[in-house]
Amino acid sequence: DPTILWFRRDLRLSDHAALSAAVARGGPVIALFIRDAQVDALGAAPKFRLEMGLAALAQRLEAAGNRLILRSGPAREVLEEVIEETGAGAVHWQRLYDPEAIERDSRVKAALKKRGTEAHSFAGHLLFEPWQVATQKGDFYKVYSPFWRAVKGRDLPETQAAPSEIPAPRAWPDSETLSDWGLSAAMNRGAEVVAQHVSAGEEAAQQALALFARDRIGDYADQRNFPGVAATSDLSQYLSLGEISPLSCWQAGQRAMAAGKDGAETFLKELVWREFAYHLMYHSPAMLDENWREGWQDFGWNEDPDTPDVLAWKQGRTGVEIVDAAMRELYVTGRMHNRARMVAASYLTKHLLCHWRIGQAWFEECLVDWDPASNAMGWQWVAGSGPDAAPYFRIFNPDTQATRFDRNGSYRSRWLAEGQGDPGPEALAFYDAIPRAWNLSPGDAPARPSLTLAEGRERALAAYGEMKDAA
Ligand code: FAD
């Protein structure tokens, strides 16, 4: 009987334990993606990126003699319908770790078991299952460094090759189409601009990894903090949708380390930051929308997402060039350099004294590499409310950050048009990407900050002091 392979955030054929097991089970494989409430709740850019990823997966499946079936509705109902239609005897999937997915999947598993259908979930979105890493006391880790030390020497399996053929069923179940779904319609702005900066699918992911391992990993430790330099792997968007397995990235890093490449260990550490984010989210899911640290609920943040300061931040019009460049990179490419994420997030939560949830939600709307765990951890880390966070009072000075990490100004001038005689293509692309209602043009005068850096810093420290006093 057929096995249903329920694809979710694992849009690949290689190193896919649930797929390999489905093929090994014998019988045809029905590759299914379900547009359920979790998909509908995604932000505009993640949805748009998902459409690209699904199109790429469908092509890969066709090359392997199979097909991607698309259905919408609540996951349990859709699975039961497809089981009825095809006589499938088993459903396989790879585990996710956010609370909504966990709840959905356990309900699905119970319902399938009840009706006598095999239900198997597999690891693959992470290197280390969150429950397989624990402190000596049996608790979860709340600090990164000991987490890293606990996992770095662990033996991990080899990656598994993609099956060369994925047996097709005798008759195909009905499928909806990606164009009917219109997942990219949510980008009611210049999706085609962003598309020029985004590649999707397993092949693109493998190419990105190969390029990084060949040309960039050696200098990664030295160069990764400069937003104007293409020094990082750019793997996050593929990892987010599982177009490449973290294990493939890990093994490439290990090979580079064995070959004596300097930056390789730093790269492995970054992959483990992703693991740490998942470890935290799994053990402490409130991290997704509540301050992780005690006492922070009374912090004097602005929580209104519609203030002029928030709009200026979203538009890259705060008047602080490094922040504005970062926000425009986000809008045009769907990504933002990690250093720039830290600076832009710090400016919002400290100088502008806005709640980190406002920034988290905007990133969720705009990032093609959006990841629930890394985004929440990143925001809480910067804001000071999170586990192992930067102390609140250590406030990044954006000017100092710009001088240190964008010394020659190439990042700022690449993304900002205002005040430049001859702005480059990326700076201009911003105006094709934004909604008309923003009414911005490259000839606008450069933005002026609503307060000086010193004023913002003092206000932030005063708010922090008040919270401390109240505690
Ligand atoms: P590389 O430097 O090449 O790193 C390799 C991989 O390691 C990345 O692809 C990523 O999977 C992982 N990684 C690196 N840094 C981090 C980190 N700080 N936290 C977790 N994983 C990391 N990353 C996301 O994938 N999705 C998000 O939604 C996201 N939101 C963020 C929000 C804020 C406020 C901050 C400060 C960081 C956020 N990050 C997020 C982490 C980081 O900025 C990106 O993973 C990184 O910039 C992606 O570029 P890269 O693939 O070239 O990274």
C-beta atoms surrounding 103 within 10 Å? 10
Q: CA–CA separation, 330 vs 14, rounded Å?
A: 30
φ/ψ of 167, rounded to 5, equals: -55, 135
Residue 273, ligand 1, Cβ within 6 A: yes
CA pair distance 422, 51, nearest whole angstrom: 35
Atom of ligand 1 nearest to the CA of 235: 51
DSSP letter (8 states) at residue 94: E
Q: Which two tokens stand for residue 361?
A: 């939600």
How large is the greatest C-alpha to C-alpha distance in the chain, in angstroms? 70
Question: Is residue 57 classed as helix, strand or coil in its secondary structure?
Answer: helix
What's the ipTM? 0.99
pTM of the model: 0.97
Cα–Cα distance between 197 and 316 in angstroms, integer?
Answer: 19
Write down all domains in the chain, each with its CATH number in brackets.
1-123 (3.40.50.620), 126-156+200-283 (1.25.40.80), 296-470 (1.10.579.10)
Distance 200 CA to ligand 1 centre (A): 17
Task: Find out whether the beta carbon of 347 lies less than 6 Å from any atom of ligand 1.
Answer: no
Reading the block at residue 452, the tokens are 């000086």
pLDDT of residue 116: 97
pLDDT of residue 391: 82
- Residue from 304, 406, 315, 302 nearest 351 by CA: 302
Among 158, 168, 264, residue whose Cα is nearest residue 209: 264
- Give burial (CB, 10 Å; 0-12/13-18/19+) of 149: exposed
The answer on whether 40 is annotated among ligand-binding residues is no
Q: Is 444 helix (H, G, I), strand (E, B) or coil?
A: coil
Count the residues in the chain.
471
> Is 370 marked as binding a ligand?
yes
**Which residues does 429 contact at the CB level (< 8 Å), separation at least 6?**
190, 193, 196, 332
The residues with which 30 forms a beta bridge, in sequence order, are 4
Helix axes 338-346, 321-333, angle to 10 degrees: 120
267 is in an annotated binding site: yes
**Residue 373 alpha carbon to ligand 1 centre in Å:** 10
Report the SS3 class of residue 268: helix
Residues of the chain with pLDDT under 50: none
Query: For position 142, what pLDDT does the model report?
Result: 96
Q: Residue with structure tokens 């710009």?
A: 402
CB-based contact 7:32 (threshold 8 Å): yes
Query: DSSP for 297-347?
Result: GG---B--TTSHHHHHHHHT-SS-HHHHHHHHHHHHHS---HHHHHHHHHI
Q: CA 133 to CA 176: how far, in whole Å?
A: 41
- Ligand 1 lined by 374 (C-beta under 6 Å): yes
Q: Does 57 belong to an annotated binding site?
A: no
Distance CA 206, CA 330 (A): 23
Ligand 1 lined by 279 (C-beta under 6 Å): no
